[in-house]
Amino acid sequence: MTTVTTHFERHVLQIRMNRPEKKNALTLPMYDVISEALERAEADTAVRAVVLGGAGGNFCSGNDVGDFPDAGSGQQGPTPVMRFVKALVNASVPIVAAVEGVAAGIGSTMLLHLDSVVASAGSRIVFPFLNLALVPEAGSSLLLVRLLGYTRAADLVLRAGSIDGTEAHRLGIVSRLAEPGAVDKVALEIAAEFASKPPQAMRRAKRLMKGDTAGLLERIREEERGVFLGLGSAEGAEALRAFREKRRPNFT
């Protein structure tokens, strides 16, 4: 089975994570496929909008924990995760997310980089990092504070919070609510509207609104270092064991 599918039609590129049995948890090869698609979209002026979605009723449950030991093994140089996050940060083509079911970990933090996030009221947006002895990633330690203010961001991150689509819409993480089963349709309609606008002006406008991304990229690199520290720590090892054994961790 192809774990990432793409479809291009009428100037809109659809990228769908396709591991429904794992709630579309991302493996390192999946990151590379999605990153390549985003990089090609950025370079191809025929692409005027991108839609990110998931198969089987969920958006993305985050990283596949089976890849965690490799990620924490002291790997040097750019990682597939960093390549993906940089593709989001550097994108000038507008990107729309279609969120149903679970959006957790990188599935939640990627939303902070996008231009429109469509979700159902019953979707679940989860920031689980502290439960895994990890720091938040993908720039979320900066972007969540900018979006929500410190105390609301801290409440989500430090409690490893979970919110539904309605609350995420109230906070501004989700930009549009749609009925269950209609999320993909609404996301495609928004992407089609983006694609109907002057394409170069659209990209220039997005770059201006994003502003200087140097500070964001530096924060992302700092977060990545923190993630590696967590993965290599005794706390991280206990958190992963507890997750796999479906028990409460013991950090004493």
CA distance 69 to 232: 9
pLDDT band with cut points at 50, 70 and 90 for residue 94: very high
Within the chain, what is the greatest distance between any pair of CA atoms?
A: 58
pLDDT at 95 over 90: yes
Tell me whether residue 150 is exposed, middle or buried, using C-beta atoms within 10 angstroms of its C-beta: 0 to 12, 13 to 18, 19 or more: exposed
Please report the pLDDT score of residue 243 as a whole number: 83
Domains and CATH numbers, the chain: 4-179 (3.90.226.10)
Task: Report CA torsion sign: 126, 72, 97, 15.
Answer: negative
- What's the average model confidence in pLDDT over 211-240? 92
pLDDT at 36 over 90: yes
CB count in 10 Å sphere of residue 171: 17
- What's the average model confidence in pLDDT over 66-83? 65
Q: What percent of the chain has pLDDT over 70?
A: 95
CA distance 137 to 248: 23
**Taking a C-beta distance cutoff of 8 angstroms, is the pair 174, 168 a contact?**
yes
* Selected residue with higher pLDDT from 251 and 59: 59
Please report the pLDDT score of residue 76 as a whole number: 46
**Taking a C-beta distance cutoff of 8 angstroms, is the pair 169, 177 a contact?**
yes
Q: Report pLDDT digits (tens) over 3-12.
A: 999 999 999 9
pLDDT band with cut points at 50, 70 and 90 for residue 30: very high
Helix (H) or strand (E) holding 126: strand 124-126
- What's the average model confidence in pLDDT over 196-212? 96
* Selected residue with higher pLDDT from 70 and 35: 35
Please report the pLDDT score of residue 34 as a whole number: 97
pLDDT band with cut points at 50, 70 and 90 for residue 71: very low
**Taking a C-beta distance cutoff of 8 angstroms, is the pair 165, 125 a contact?**
yes
pLDDT band with cut points at 50, 70 and 90 for residue 68: low
Mean per-residue pLDDT over the chain, rounded: 93
- What's the average model confidence in pLDDT over 214-240? 91
pLDDT at 245 over 60: yes
pLDDT at 136 over 80: yes
**Taking a C-beta distance cutoff of 8 angstroms, is the pair 160, 130 a contact?**
yes
CA distance 243 to 88: 29
* Selected residue with higher pLDDT from 76 and 121: 121
Please report the pLDDT score of residue 250 as a whole number: 87
Tell me whether residue 144 is exposed, middle or buried, using C-beta atoms within 10 angstroms of its C-beta: 0 to 12, 13 to 18, 19 or more: buried
Please report the pLDDT score of residue 129 as a whole number: 94
Please report the pLDDT score of residue 66 as a whole number: 77
